[in-house]
């Protein structure tokens, strides 16, 4: 998939921009605080309703305005995608038809982002890595979305029963278990599929380390999910919620046989996050037969020039449509300007093509 055109209105310091995009590479160059990151955030908002920098709409709407707008034309499936967001109201249009759910836009636009906080994927809470896995599953595994909504619905019902010590909890538990097993299988298979890409990308980007990934299913030992749930009935009743299951799963990252969270430098965390995202976009391309879209904000942050170049090489290999920001006069800007790309210069929120 790729965006052919984009229109951004009243988004942070951008008043209005109408731009023709390159199917492969788009470079956004400007001084600090010009509006480069804002441009990338607008694309993210069109897909997910929030950006990699904030989930607060009020921060995204231009000061003094009531609503922001992002519209784009997606070239693979040939759809016009639009979002209008006021502080408390969102309007979504696909080919001029109103849609109720943000996930409809997310299905049309698979956006991944690499940004100065990407290291959170390694260092952050398990929820960050669950979001990573579930982003992939949402796009490449047809059943995942329905399984996951069924699971969360049942989990909520069981937790409500546990909270009031209602014996009905066991009815919900019996229903929860098989769906939890399905989700576990889907996630495990997904990680298995990613492994060959992870190994390849790691050898290219971090050849001197050993990097391993393990899916932690969210309950201990070799027990089935129902066995784990049964073992914890007393505990869960005391606590008033279900204390194990796919909602607690994690992706364990191991660097040279040690927990990556405990031993990695910030730079290593960033490289590992990049390896994970790049591998995911390759898997996406193979399974969907068209590429994803990747936003890359400020690649130079904490990566040496040599590393930036290695990541760039792998980025181009994904065949994704890529949006990259770079500071005026930086080496990265120079490298990127020499590519076959659309280059945008941003100044005080004005984007010039």
Ligand X SMILES: Nc1ncnc2c1ncn2[C@@H]1O[C@H](COP(=O)(O)OP(=O)(O)O)[C@@H](O)[C@H]1O
Q: In the structure encoding, which two tokens stand for residue 183, read together?
A: 């989700």
Nearer to ligand X, 32 or 167 (CB): 32
State phi, psi for 260 to the nearest 5 degrees. Answer: -60, -35
Shortest separation between residue 300's beta carbon and ligand X, angstroms: 12
Separation of alpha carbons 256 and 178, rounded Å: 35
Between 33 and 286, name the residue whose CB sits nearer to ligand X: 33
Q: How far is the CB of 66 from ligand X (least distance, A)?
A: 12
| Nearer to Mg ion among residue 8 and residue 154 (C-beta) | 8
Alpha helices in 9-125 (DSSP H): 36-48, 57-60, 102-108, 120-123
Q: In the complex, what is the shortest distance from the CB of residue 27 to Mg ion, in angstroms, rounded to a whole number?
A: 14
Residue of 62, 115, 187, 270 that binds ligand X (CB under 6 A): 62
Find which of Mg ion, ligand X, none residue 30 binds, CB within 5 to 8 Å per kind. ligand X
Residue with tokens 């068209």: 290
- Supply 111's token pair: 């956006």
The number of C-alpha atoms within 13 Å of 168 and in the hemisphere containing its C-beta is 11
Q: Which of 65, 15, 66, 72 is nearest to 38 (CA)?
A: 15
User: Among all chains, which residue has been given the structure tokens 């023709």?
Assistant: 20
Does 113 help bind Mg ion (rule: CB under 5 A)? no
Residue nearest to Mg ion (CB): 37
Q: How many whole angstroms separate alpha carbon 105 and alpha carbon 48? A: 7
CB closer to ligand X out of 34 and 272:
34
Beta bridge partners of 9: 16, 69
Rule CB under 5 A: choose which of 22, 26, 37, 113 binds Mg ion. 37
Contacts with ligand X, 63-102, as mask; x by CB under 6 A? x---------------------------------------
- Of 30, 49, 180, 246, the residue at the interface with ligand X (CB under 6 A) is 30
Query: Considering the rule CB under 6 A, would residue 13 count as an interface residue with ligand X?
Result: yes
Asked if 270 is part of the footprint of ligand X (rule: CB under 6 A), the reply reads no
Distance CA 51, CA 180 (A): 29
Question: In the complex, which residues of this chain contact ligand X (CB under 6 A)?
Answer: 12-13, 30, 32-38, 59, 61-63
């Amino acid at each position: 998939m790729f965006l052919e055109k984009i229109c951004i209105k009243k988004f942070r310091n951008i008043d209005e921009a109408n731009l023709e995009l390159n199917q492969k590479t788009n470079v956004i160059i400007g001084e600090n605080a010009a509006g480069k990151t804002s441009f990338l955030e607008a694309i993210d908002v069109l897909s997910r309703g929030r950006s990699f920098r904030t989930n607060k709409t009020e921060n995204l709407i231009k000061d003094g305005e009531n609503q922001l707008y992002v519209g784009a034309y997606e070239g693979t499936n040939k759809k016009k995608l639009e979002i209008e967001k006021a502080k408390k109201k969102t309007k979504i249009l696909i080919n001029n038809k109103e849609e109720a759910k943000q996930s409809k836009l997310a299905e049309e636009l698979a956006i991944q982002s690499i940004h100065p906080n990407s290291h959170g994927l390694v260092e952050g809470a398990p929820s960050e890595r669950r979001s990573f896995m579930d982003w992939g599953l949402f796009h490449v595994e047809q059943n995942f979305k329905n399984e996951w909504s069924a699971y969360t619905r049942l989990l909520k019902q069981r937790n409500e029963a546990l909270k009031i010590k209602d014996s009905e909890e066991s009815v919900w538990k019996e229903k929860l278990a098989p769906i939890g097993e399905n989700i576990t299988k889907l996630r495990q298979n997904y990680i298995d599929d990613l492994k060959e890409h992870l190994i390849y990308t790691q050898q290219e980007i971090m050849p001197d380390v050993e990097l391993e990934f393990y899916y932690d299913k969210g309950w201990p030992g070799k027990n089935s999910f129902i066995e784990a749930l049964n073992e914890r009935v007393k505990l869960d009743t005391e606590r008033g919620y279900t204390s194990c299951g796919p909602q607690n799963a994690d992706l364990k990252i191991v660097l040279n046989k040690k927990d990556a969270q405990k031993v990695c430098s910030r730079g290593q965390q960033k490289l590992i996050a990049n390896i994970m995202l790049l591998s995911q976009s390759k898997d996406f391309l193979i399974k969907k037969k068209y590429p994803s879209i990747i936003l890359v904000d400020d690649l130079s942050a904490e990566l040496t020039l040599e590393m930036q170049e290695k990541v760039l090489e792998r980025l181009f290999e994904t065949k994704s449509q890529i949006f990259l920001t770079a500071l005026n006069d930086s080496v990265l800007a120079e490298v990127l300007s020499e590519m076959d790309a659309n280059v945008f210069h941003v100044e005080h929120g004005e984007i010039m093509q």
